[in-house]
Amino acid sequence: MFGLTYLDISGSLGLCATGLLSFNFLLGILLSTGFKAQPFWKKLPEKIRILPIERIHNWTAYLALFFAFLHPCILFMDKEAGFEWKHFIQPLNAPKQPWIVLLGVISFFAILVVIISSQKIIKKKMGFRTWKNIHLISYATALLFLFHGLLMDPLLKDRPTDFIDAEKFFSEICIILLFVAGFYRYRYFLSKQKVASRKKQS
């Protein structure tokens, strides 16, 4: 189909999942900071401020999971690759780069856990604190998936990572964005802690 191989399609789906998961991560950080009360948000155009950020955050998570699932499924159709369904459960037995495959499998199931635990009925039964602790998995999940994409050889020939390749550069940009966003999220947490401690002292 249009000269594309199963390997090409699988790689493209992986890139889609990478972009969606990164975007979802950034939206999650935004939602956790009381962004609507922040000065920068109030200065944005109204068309942006009326966007349903929480709904977009939820749907990008579903789409990321969908593409992350299709990514290996298409690969299973490539007989030369040698990947089979059992490698979903036994990634260390994968024919190529098993430890990197393991990162992808762990991240997939972690995304699944985060999404399931975020359903209203389940979230209500668990309580906010338990849900929050589980939801923190998403921070590590995003990085696992991104490093999986960064280190995996797109041609499955066990070649060393070409860090200036366009696909790898995309993963690198996403990793940098997540680290920067995570850093500022941590600073926001510290500032909230300081405000809380001052209130207690007063």
The fold adopted by the segment(s) 6-201 is Four Helix Bundle (Hemerythrin (Met), subunit A) (1.20.120)
**pLDDT recorded at residue 50:** 92
Instruction: Please answer whether residues 58 and 115 qualify as being in contact, where contact means their C-beta atoms are separated by less than 8 angstroms.
Output: no
Separation between Cα atoms, residue 102 and residue 41, nearest integer Å: 39
Q: Could you give the angle at the alpha carbon of 161 between the alpha carbons of 73 and 146, nearest 5°?
A: 55
CA-based max dimension of the chain: 69
Q: Buried b vs exposed e over 14-31: b needs ≥16 C-beta within 10 Å?
A: bbbbbbbbbbbbbbbbbe
Coil, helix or strand at residue 90: coil
Separation between Cα atoms, residue 76 and residue 147, nearest integer Å: 21
- Helices 137-151 and 6-31 pack at an angle, to 10 degrees, of 150
pTM: 0.88
Handedness of CA 69, 26, 30, 46 (dihedral sign): negative
pLDDT tens string for the chain (202 positions)? 456 899 999 999 999 999 999 999 999 889 888 888 888 888 889 998 899 999 999 999 999 999 999 999 999 998 888 899 898 889 999 999 999 999 999 999 999 998 998 888 998 888 888 888 888 777 778 888 999 999 999 888 888 888 989 889 999 999 999 999 989 888 888 888 887 777 777 6
Instruction: Please answer whether residues 117 and 134 qualify as being in contact, where contact means their C-beta atoms are separated by less than 8 angstroms.
Output: yes
